[in-house]
Structure 1
Amino acid sequence: MDTASRSDEVPAGPQPLPRGATAIAPIVHRADVDGLRALAVLAVFFFHLRISGFTGGFAGVDVFFVISGFLITQIVAAEIEAGCFSLAQFYSRRARRLLPAFFMTLAVSSVAAFLLFAPQHMESFAGSLLAATFGVSNVLFWRESGYFDLGARIKPLLHTWSLSVEWQFYLVWPLLLTLLWIVSRRRVFWPVLAMAISGFCLILAFQDGSFWLLSGTRAADWIADGRATVFYNTPFRVFEFACGATLVWLRKPPSVIAHEFIALLGLAIIGGGIFFLDGGAAPPAWNVLPPTLGAAMMLYAGRSQWVSLVLRNKPTAYIGRISYSLYLVHWPVIVFCDYALLRPLSPTETVLAGFLAFALAVLMFHLVEQPCRAGRGFVSPPRLALAGIVSFALVSWSMRDGLPWRVPSVAAGTELADSVALKAITGSLGCPDFCEFGNLKSPRKILVVGDSHVDHYTRALEELGGKDFHFLLAQAGNCYFGANLQTRTNGAVTQHCRVATDQAARWLKAGGISAIVQAQRWPGYRNLLERKTDGVAVDAPDLGKLFPMMLMDVAKLYADFRGPVILIGHAPNTNLICDVRPHYFPLPCPAPSLSEHVAFEAAFRAFASHSSFQLVDPVQTICSRTECRATDGAGHSLYVDDHHLSVFGARLIVPKIIGKLRDDLAVASR
C-alpha cells in the first residue's frame, strides 16, 4: 500500500548543493500519480469484493509499492542532495501521515471484533493487532499461511501486511540511500538498478519453495510454501520499490510522443494484469512483473497529456488522494460483514458494503487523515506513536484469551466459549506427519491415511480400538493421498505432504498391513490437485466429475493391496460460530448445505459397484432428514470449528469404523 505523499513531503527549502552532487528533478505534485493510486486501490477493492473480472486485482499492491519507491526515493534523495536530510524529520512526517488513520482503523476494528468475534477468533485478532501495531504483521501472516490458518476472510487486519512491508522499507531505505550517496555520489542509479534486478532474481529463486542453498536445513521448512514466502516478506518486494526508485535518476526521452506511447503501454499492461492475472495459476514472479513494469512506465511518462487524462481527471484524482483511508477501511468492512452473515455477500450486499467502505474512507480522510497531516493533531508524532503502541499492546494483551466471558451459556457447552477448553476437546492425538499408536504388539496393523479429516479421529481410534489394533498414521493437513494426483499447494507440494505420502508408501511396501482407513475432506480439493508426473493442474469444480476422479485415483493407489479399504466421508459442515460468538444483537445463522454429501454418496455408489471399498459416512450418524446436530446428548460440541470434529463427534463415528474393521478382519481370518 503506497502511503507516500508529495504534498506533505516537500524538502525544507533550497540549500547549496554539495560539489559533484547529481541534480534531482524538482518535486512537484502530479495529478497522474494520484490517479495511479486510484487505479491501484480500486483494483484491490474490487478484487476483495469479489467483483467479476478483477481476478488480478491483487496487482494493485505491486503498483502501490512502485509508487512508494519512486516518491520516497525522490524525497529523500532531493533532501540529501540539498544537504538538509534529517532521519528524525523523515520519520516524524511518516508518522504524521500514516499513524492517525491507521490507529483509528485498529480502534474501530477492535470494537467490531469485541462485538462479533468468537473467543478463538478473538485470540487470533489479538495476535494480529499486536503484530500490526509493531509493523510485523506480514511476518505473522506468512507464518500462519498454512492449512490450519484461519480463513483469510475472518482476518480483519490481514491487509496490514502491506503496511508492515512499507514501514520496514521506510526503516531501511533512507539509511541505505544515505550510504550509497556517500559512497557513490553520481552513481546511485546503478546500485539501485542492481537491487531491482537482484530482487526479481530473489523471487525466481524462492518462489517454488526449494531454494538450493537452504536444502536440507530447518529454514527449508519455513519457505516450503514459496508463494507465501515471496508474497509477504519485504526482501521479495525490493524489486517493486527499487524499480520505482530507479526512475528518479533515469533520463526521460525528449519526445512527447514517446511519453504518450510509454504511458499507453504502461496503462495497458496494468489493466491486463488486473483483468487477466490469476494469483493461483502463474508463478509469483510473473504475477509481479506486469504491474511493476506498467506502473514504472506510467510514472516515467511524466509528460504524457492525452493518455494520462484517464488518471488526471478530478474524480479519479480524488479517489487517489483518499486511497490510503480506503485501503485501510475496506477490508475490515468486508470481513465483519461476512462474519456477521456467515456467508459470502450477495450482489446487493456487496454493493452496500462497497458504498459503506467508501463513505467511511471519505470521513476518515477529511476528519482524521487531513487534519493530522496538516499538523492539527492532539499530540506530536513521536508521542502519538508511543501512545498508540502502548495502547494497542495493552488492548491485544487484554484480548489474548479470547474474552470468553462475552459468550453466554450456549447449548453447545461451555467448552466452546473457552479457547483453552476448546483445544482440550480436539479429536487429534497431535501426531506430526506420521506416527504409530494403539497396541504396537498387535499383528493387526491398520494403515490410517489422509488429511486433517482423518487426524480428528485419531484420539477416538486409540480410545476405542487401541487394545485390538496397531495403527500406523500418515496424515498431513490439506494433503491429498492418491496414485496419480497430488495436492497443488500454491504451485508446489509442501514438505509435510511429501513426508506423509512417502511414509505411507513405505509402510505399504513393507507389507503386513491388514486394512486401510482413508479419510479426506473430499470436496476441499476442487482446485487443489495436479498430476504427479508433470505438475499440470487438474481443476474439477464440478463435484460430479471431481469425486469419481478422486475415487478412481485412490483405487489405483491400493490396486495391489488385497485387504479391506474403508473410506470415510467428510464430516458435514456446521455453523459453529453461531453458538460461540457474542449475542449482543441477533444475527442470521444459515443452515449448512448437504449437497456435497449427496454428490459424494452418488459417486461412491457408482464406484463401489466395481470395487470392494466400503464407506463410513458421518452424515448418517450426525444428521437427520431435517437437520445436523452440533452437540451430543450431554450437550458437548461435536465440532472444534466449522468442519473438524471434536473428540465427542469422533466418538460417534469411530465405532462404525472399528466395527467394520473387526467384521472384515474376522472374515479374512476364516
Structure 2
Amino acid sequence: MQFREDINGLRAIAVIAVVLFHFNSSWMPGGFAGVDVFFVISGFLMTGIIFKGLEQQKFSILRFYVARANRIIPALAILCIILLILGWFYLTPQDYKALGKHATSSVAFASNVTYWLETSYFDPSSYEKWLLHTWSLSVEWQFYVIYPLVLVALYKFISIEMMKKVVLISTILGFVFCVLVTYKWSKGAYFLLPSRAWEMMIGGVAYLYPFSIKDKHKKLVEWTGIALILGSYFLISKDTPWPGYFAFFPVLGAFFVIQAQRNNSIITSNIVFKKLGAWSYSIYLWHWPLVVIIYYFSLNNNYIYIGIALSVLLGFLSNKYIEKVKFKSDFNKRLDYLKCKPLYLALIAGITGYIVISNNGFDSEIRLTSEQLVVTNGMHRNSREEYCGTLIDGDSPSCRYGSGEIKAIVIGDSHARALIEGIGVQAKLFNGSVIDWGLSACNTIDGVYTINLKSNQIDYSCGELVSKLITRAGNEFKGVPIIIINRTSLNLVGRNEDKTSSPPDSFVDKVFQTRNDAYRESLVSHMVDTICEFTENNPVYLLRPVPELKINVPKSMFRSMLTQNQMERVKLPKLEYDTRQKTAYQMQNNAVQKCGAKILNPIPFLCDSEFCHGDIDGKPLYFDDDHLNLYGTKIISPVFDEVFMNH
C-alpha cells in the first residue's frame, strides 16, 4: 500500500493526545480517545492488506501474522525486558511480581484480559501498572488474528463485493453492541475486543468504500474530521462512559480524515507531525513507563515536562534502532516460519516474566537487604482473602480463623477483612475462633445500595447481605459477640488519599448528589439503627476507625531506602485524624447511648498526642495506606481481649 502522509499525521494527532492525557489529564481530558483513532488506522491498513491480497489471490495468513509480529513485537519485547531488569533494582516484590505477570501477558497479547480482571483503566492504582498501555496492543493483535481468518473463510463462499457488505454490516452491529455493553458491563467494554472491533472495522469500511470527493471539498471533510477528534479530546473525560456512543465522534473523525486523503495538508503533513507520526508506536510504548516513574517515586510536576521530552527521544531511538530493523517475513516452508526472530524476543520476555512470577518477585536475600525484607513482609495480605471476601449465593462463606469455640463474629468492610487473620490469632490464645463476615466496600448498613456513577447500575448486594447477617446472628449465633469494623469516613467524608472529590455512591432511602450534612445524617442514622438491630440478640463491639495515612506505608518506606538510602517514616497528624473521624465517632457514641454497644479503641497503640504512625521501629503496621497488616493487628490485639475474656 502506498505511503499515506495523512494517515501518518493522524498517528501524530493520536499519540500527542494520549501522551498529554497520561502525563496530565487536565491538559486534554479526553486524550485517551487517541487510542480509538489508532484503532481506526489499524483497521484501514489491515483491511487494505487482506483484501488486496485476496483480490490478487496471493494472500498468506502466515505471512500476514509474521509481518505483524515483525512490526509490533521487537520494541514491545525489548521494553518488557528492560523494565524487568530495572524492576530487579527498584521494585518491591509485590510490584515486581505484578510486572512479571504483566510482561508475560503483554508479549502473549493477552494483557487486555489481565487488566480487565484487575482494575479499571482510570483507577488510581493503574498508575502503578508499568505496562497498562499494552492493553490496546493486545486488542489489535487479537483483531489481527481473527479478522483475516474470518475473511479468508468468507472468501471461499462469497464474492469480494458481498464480503465488503459483510464488513459494513458487522461494523454497524459492532457499534450497537459496543453501546449496549458499555452501559451494562463498562470495564469489559473498555478492555475487550468484542466492544472495540467496530472501531477497527470502520477503518476497513474507509478502505472498502472510499469517498469520491472533489479536491475543493477534501479540505472541508478533513477539517470536519479533525474537529470531531479534537472536540472529543477536550469535551469528553474519564467520567464519560467509554467507549459507548461517545466513541463514535473520534472514530468518525479519523474516518473522515482518511477519506479526505489530503497528503499535502498543513495539519497532517507538517514536518513535526511527520516525525511524530513515524515515531508514534515507539513513543506510545515508552511514554507510559515514564508516567509511572513520576507517580511511583512521587516526583514533582516539573518531571512531567522531562517525561514528555524523554518520551519523544526514546520514541525516536526505538524507531531508528529497533523498529527499522528488517526481519524476514516470507518463508518458503511452513516450518521455516519458526525462524521468525521477533517470536524469540517475545519468548525471552515471557520466560523472564514467568521466572519473576514463580519466585514471588524474588522476595528473598537474593535481591533484598534484611531491612528491605522487614518492610516488604509488611505488604503480605491474608492468603484466604480472595475466597473469604466473596459472596456465595448472596451470603458470606463464613470463614473461621483460630480454633475452638466461636468467640466472636467480625463484620464490616475491607478494614474488617484486613484485621480478621490477626483477630483469629488473638482468639486462639483464648482457645477460641472468630467468624469472618466481612465484605470489601460493604459498610455495615442494613439496606444500603450503591449506584455506579458511569452506568447508573444499582447494586443491592451489600445491604441485602447485612440484612441476612442480622437474621443469621440472631438465629444461629445468639449471644455471640459481634465486632463491627468499617472505614466509615470513606462514605461520610470521601477519600483522603488525594485531593480529588467524588459524589457519594452509597445510599439507603434517598439519593444525594453531594456529601452534605443531610447525606451524612441519613447514613449515620441508618448505621446506628443497624448496630442496634444486632444488639437485640448479640453483644456488639465497635472498633474506633483505623487511621488512614494517605500514603502507602511499606511502599513508601521501601522506595525511600532505594532512592534516598534512608527509611521514610509515614505519619499523619493526630489532629487531622480527629477532624476526619469526628462524625464517625459521634455515630459510634450514639449507638453506645441508644442500644448499649461497646467501644474498642486501638488509637493509643497507633497514635501519640501528635501523630498516628505507619510503623514501629521500622516495621510497617499497614500493608497499604489505611489497612493494618498482620503485625499492625498484633499491636492492637489487646483491645479484643475484652471480647474474648467476657464471652
Q: What's the CA shift for 1:90?
A: 2.1
Structure 2 SS opposite 1:160: helix
Tell me the amino acid that sits aligned with residue 175 of structure 2.
F
| Segment of structure 1 superposing worse, 47-56 or 563-572 | 563-572
Shift of 1:604: 3.5
**What is the 5 A alignment of 1:159-198?**
159-182=133-156, 183-198=158-173
Q: Say which is worse superposed, 88-97 or 158-167, in terms of deviation.
A: 88-97
1:520 is aligned to 2:498 = no
In structure 1, C-alpha distance between the alignment counterparts of 2:164 and 2:154, rounded to whole Å: 10
Correspondences of 1:22-171 after superposition (within 5 Å)? 28-145=2-119, 151-171=125-145
Residue number in structure 2 paired with 1:13:
none
In structure 2, the CA distance between the partners of 1:432 and 1:260, relative to structure 1 (3 Å rule), is same
Q: Identify the residue that residue 201 of structure 1 maps to in structure 2.
A: 176
Report the secondary structure of 2:208's partner residue. coil
Contact 1:66–1:292 under 8 Å retained in 2: yes
Q: Distance in 2 between matches of 1:533 and 1:424?
A: 31
Partners of 1:410 and 1:579 within 8 A in 2: no
Give how far 1:415 is off.
6.4
Contact 2:528 2:588 in 1 (8 A): no
Q: Give distance in 2, aligned partners of 1:382 and 1:534.
A: 65
2:542 matched residue in structure 1: 566
Contact map agreement 1:106 1:129 (CA 8 A) in 2 = yes
Going from structure 1 to structure 2, the CA distance change for 1:178 and 1:383 (only over 3 Å counts) comes to closer
**2:195 corresponds to:** 236
Q: After superposition, what is the alpha-carbon deviation per residue over 1:134-182, rounded to whole angstroms, capped at 9, x for unaligned?
A: 11111122222279x9921221111111111111111122222223334
Equivalent residues of 1:203, 1:230 under 8 A apart? yes
The match for 1:309 is 266
CA deviation after TM superposition for structure 1 residue 64, in Å: 0.6
Equivalent residue for 2:333?
none
Query: How far apart, in 2, do the equivalents of 1:622 and 1:57 lie?
Result: 43
Over residues 75-110 of structure 1, what are the superposed CA-to-partner deviations in whole Å (9 max), with x where a residue is unaligned? 221222123322233233223322222222122211
Of the candidates 276, 286, 291, which is equivalent to residue 329 of structure 1?
A: 286
Paired residue secondary structure (1:652): helix
From 290, 315, 325, give the equivalent of 1:361.
315
User: Structure 1 135/186 Cα, relative in aligned 2: closer, same or farther at 3 Å?
Assistant: same
Choose 486-495 or 93-102, whichever is displaced more.
Answer: 486-495
Number of aligned positions between the proteins: 605
Determine if contact 2:558/2:567 at 8 Å carries over to the other structure: no
Structure 1 residue 300 displacement after superposition:
2.0
- 1:474 has 2:437 as partner: yes
For residues 172 and 439 of structure 1, the distance between their equivalents in structure 2, rounded to whole angstroms, comes to 51
How far apart in 2 are the matches of 1:440 and 1:83? 72
Give matches, 1:248-327, under 5 Å.
Answer: 248-256=207-215, 258-282=217-241, 284-303=243-262, 308-327=265-284
CA 1:329–1:439: 2 relative to 1, 3 Å: closer
The corresponding residue for 1:5 is none
1:463 aligns with 2:446: no
Q: CA deviation at 1:128?
A: 1.1
RMSD between superposed Cα atoms in Å: 4.0
Cα deviation for residue 44 of structure 1 reads: 1.1
More divergent stretch after superposition (392-401 vs 356-365) = 392-401
Aligned residue runs from structure 1 range 441-452, under 5 A = 446=409, 448-452=410-414
**1:72/1:164 Cα in 2 relative to 1: closer, same or farther (>3 Å)?**
same
CA contact (8 A) 1:139 1:233 kept: yes
What's the TM-score once normalised by structure 1's chain length? 0.78
Secondary structure at the counterpart of residue 371 of structure 2: coil
Change (3 A) 1:511 1:630: closer
Partner of 2:505: 530
In 2, distance between residues paired with 1:151 and 1:577? Answer: 13
Q: For 1:480 and 1:494, locate their aligned partners in 2 and report how far apart those are by CA, in whole Å.
A: 19
Deviations 1:627-658 (A, max 9, x none): 5545557x754333443322221123343255
- Name stretches of at least 5 consecutive residues in structure 1 with no aligned partner: 1-9, 11-27, 210-225
Contact 2:171/2:201, CA 8 A, preserved across alignment:
yes
Task: Map 1:340-351; keep pairs closer than 5 Å.
Answer: 341=297, 343=298, 345-351=299-305
User: TM-score if structure 2 supplies the norm length?
Assistant: 0.81
User: 1:479, 1:486 within 8 Å by CA — same for their partners in 2?
Assistant: no
8 Å CA contact 2:43–2:204 kept in 1: the answer is yes
- Following the alignment from structure 2 to structure 1, what is the Cα–Cα distance between the partners of residues 208 and 301? 46
CA distance in 1, matches of 2:599, 2:386: 21
Q: Select the residue among 567, 575, 599 that pairs with 2:579.
A: 599
Given that 1:407 and 1:582 are in contact with CA atoms closer than 8 Å, whether structure 2 keeps it comes out as: no
Describe the superposition over 1:471-492 as per-residue Cα deviations: whole angstroms up to 9, x where unpaired.
6643332344546764455746
Distance 1:153 1:143 in 2: 16
In the TM superposition, residue 396 of structure 1 has moved relative to its aligned partner by 1.8
Deviation, 1:54, is 1.9
Structure 1: distance between partners of 2:385 and 2:639:
16
Distance 2:632 2:77 in 1: 42
**1:547 Cα deviation after fit:** 6.8
Q: Judging changes above 3 Å, is the alpha-carbon distance between structure 1 residues 424 and 459 closer, same or farther for their aligned structure 2 residues?
A: closer
CA deviation after TM superposition for structure 1 residue 501, in Å: 3.5
Could you list the per-position Cα deviations for residues 13-53 of structure 1 after superposition, in whole angstroms to 9, with x for gaps in the alignment? xxxxxxxxxxxxxxx32222122111111111111112424
Residue segments in structure 2 that go unaligned for 5+ positions in a row: 330-335, 496-500
Does the CA-based 8 Å contact 1:199-1:239 persist in structure 2? yes
Contact 2:290 2:307 in 1 (8 A): yes
Distance 1:557 1:57 in 2: 45
Which residue in the other structure is 1:623 paired with?
Answer: 607
Q: Distance in 2 between matches of 1:282 and 1:57?
A: 14
Q: 2:206 corresponds to which residue? A: 247
Cα distance in 1 for residues equivalent to 2:610 and 2:161:
76
The answer on whether the counterparts of 2:553 and 2:622 sit within 8 Å (CA) in structure 1 is no
Quote the sequence identity (%).
24
Whether the aligned pair in 2 keeps the contact of 1:568 and 1:616 (CA below 8 Å) is yes
- Deviation readout 1:347-385 (Å, 9 max, x if unpaired): 21211122222211121122222244799xxx9994312
Q: Distance in 2 between matches of 1:424 and 1:611?
A: 30
Asked if the contact 2:448/2:506 (under 8 Å) is kept, the reply is yes
Match of 1:23 in 2: none
Conserved? CA contact 1:548–1:603, under 8 Å: no
The superposition leaves residues 413-434 of structure 1 with CA deviations (integer Å, 9 ceiling, x where unpaired) of 38629x8xx3579999945342
State the alpha-carbon separation in 2 of the partners of residues 503 and 469 from structure 1: 25
Change in CA separation of 1:570 and 1:631 when aligned onto 2, cut-off 3 Å: closer
Q: Measure how far apart 1:238 and its partner are.
A: 0.9
